[in-house]
């Protein structure tokens, strides 16, 4: 566990040095200003629209940091062979990969939580409103989603042969993962057996990111989150991340660094 923590700490410092926090500051300013502007121009309660758009901005910020971090670290770890420095130490490749996951997730969590506190502070201190409990739950669900995507992105990094490929795989999977609601709808329609089989395979292989989506319902009075819902989300996130991590670990074990 100590070696995993060391890799995570090294990864965190590496991403800090690569100016990821500057991206966060820029994201906070841009997305918060855009959310505020759109909330003023929209019809409805400004606070509700601002918090909805703020959650969207938090997700975009987390995804931006994840994708840029994958690109930066692929260049240093694989193209510049910096991974030799890590694997030359008394550390297994599984410990290395797990440490990278925790290191990536820590910097993404810092970005999301920091932006969430900024939005909540604007609502309470400047707007004089009250932050709904579901905003906190939405932030936690977003963090769980980012952990799944972090594991998936690093697995693509272990499989991919180029930085561009890793970024495209990750972006494409994120896009399809947010379309799982439409896949569920299609599975309930009368379709040809072959089409339904293909849709079930897609539904099984891709992450169902809609399972973590609460940002559209933070003011829904009919939404009740109980322990059962939390168990389902946590179990799905753990199971999917575990399987994806094993795939990345196996590929890293087989990978030769020349």
Q: What is the mean pLDDT of the chain?
A: 81
Task: Identify the pLDDT of residue 145.
Answer: 93
Residue range 113-118: mean pLDDT, rounded:
85
Alpha-carbon distance of 212 to 244, in angstroms, equals 18
Domain-located, residue 198: no
Where does the pLDDT of residue 159 fall: very low under 50, low under 70, confident under 90, or very high at 90 and above?
Answer: confident
Higher-confidence position of 93 and 222: 93
Of 158, 53, 55, 56, the residue nearest 104 (C-alpha)? 158
Domain-located, residue 120: yes
Task: Identify the pLDDT of residue 106.
Answer: 92
Task: Identify the pLDDT of residue 197.
Answer: 84
Domain-located, residue 206: no
Domain count for the chain, please give it.
1
Where does the pLDDT of residue 165 fall: very low under 50, low under 70, confident under 90, or very high at 90 and above?
Answer: confident
Least confident of 34-38, 152-156, 157-161: 34-38
Alpha-carbon distance of 236 to 127, in angstroms, equals 37
The answer to whether 245 and 151 have CB atoms below 8 angstroms apart is yes
Where does the pLDDT of residue 46 fall: very low under 50, low under 70, confident under 90, or very high at 90 and above?
Answer: low
Domain-located, residue 188: no
Higher-confidence position of 66 and 131: 66
Which pair of structure tokens corresponds to residue 15? 């991403």
Domain-located, residue 183: no
At a CB cut-off of 8 Å and minimum separation 6, what does 157 contact?
Answer: 70, 73, 74, 77, 78, 166, 248
148 sits in which H/E element: helix 133-159
Per the structure, the complete domain to which residue 69 belongs is given by 2-178+213-254
Domain-located, residue 74: yes
Higher-confidence position of 242 and 7: 242
Domain-located, residue 201: no
**Secondary structure in 3-state letters for 37-89:** HHHHHCCCCHHHHHHHHHHHHHHHHHHHHHHHHHHHHHHHHHHCCCHHHHHCC
Coil, strand or helix at 220: coil
Higher-confidence position of 154 and 93: 154
pTM, two decimal places: 0.88
What is the rounded radius of gyration, in angstroms, for the C-alpha atoms of the chain? 20
Please, is 182 exposed, middle or buried when counting C-beta atoms within 10 Å of its C-beta (0-12, 13-18, 19+)? exposed
Where does the pLDDT of residue 151 fall: very low under 50, low under 70, confident under 90, or very high at 90 and above?
Answer: very high
Size of the chain, expressed as the number of residues it contains: 258
Domain-located, residue 124: yes
Task: Identify the pLDDT of residue 43.
Answer: 58
Instruction: Give percent above pLDDT 90 in the chain.
Output: 16
pLDDT tens profile 183-217 = 777 778 777 788 888 888 888 888 888 888 887 76
pLDDT beyond 60 at 258 = no
């Amino acid at each position: 566990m100590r070696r995993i923590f060391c890799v995570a700490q090294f990864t965190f410092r590496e991403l800090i040095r690569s100016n990821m926090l500057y991206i966060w500051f820029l994201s906070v300013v841009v997305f918060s200003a855009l959310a505020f502007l759109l909330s003023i121009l929209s019809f409805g309660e400004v606070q509700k629209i601002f918090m909805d758009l703020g959650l969207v901005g938090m997700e975009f910020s987390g995804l931006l940091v994840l994708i840029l971090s994958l690109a930066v670290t692929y260049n240093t770890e694989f193209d510049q062979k910096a991974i030799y420095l890590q694997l030359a130490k008394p550390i297994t490749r599984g410990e290395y990969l797990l440490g990278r996951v925790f290191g990536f997730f820590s910097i993404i969590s810092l970005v999301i939580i920091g932006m969430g506190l900024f939005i909540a502070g604007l609502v309470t201190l400047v707007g004089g409103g009250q932050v709904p409990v579901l905003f906190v739950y939405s932030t936690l669900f977003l963090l769980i989603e980012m952990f799944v995507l972090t594991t998936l992105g690093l697995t693509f990094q272990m499989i991919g042969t180029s930085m561009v490929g890793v970024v495209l795989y990750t972006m494409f999977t994120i896009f399809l993962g947010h379309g799982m609601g439409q896949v569920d709808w299609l599975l309930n329609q009368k379709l040809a057996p072959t089409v339904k089989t293909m849709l079930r395979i897609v539904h099984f292989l891709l992450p169902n990111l809609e399972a973590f989506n609460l940002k559209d319902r933070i003011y829904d009075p009919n939404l009740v989150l109980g322990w059962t819902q939390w168990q389902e989300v946590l179990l799905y996130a753990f199971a999917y991340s575990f399987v994806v991590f094993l795939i990345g670990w196996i590929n890293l074990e087989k990978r030769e660094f020349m």
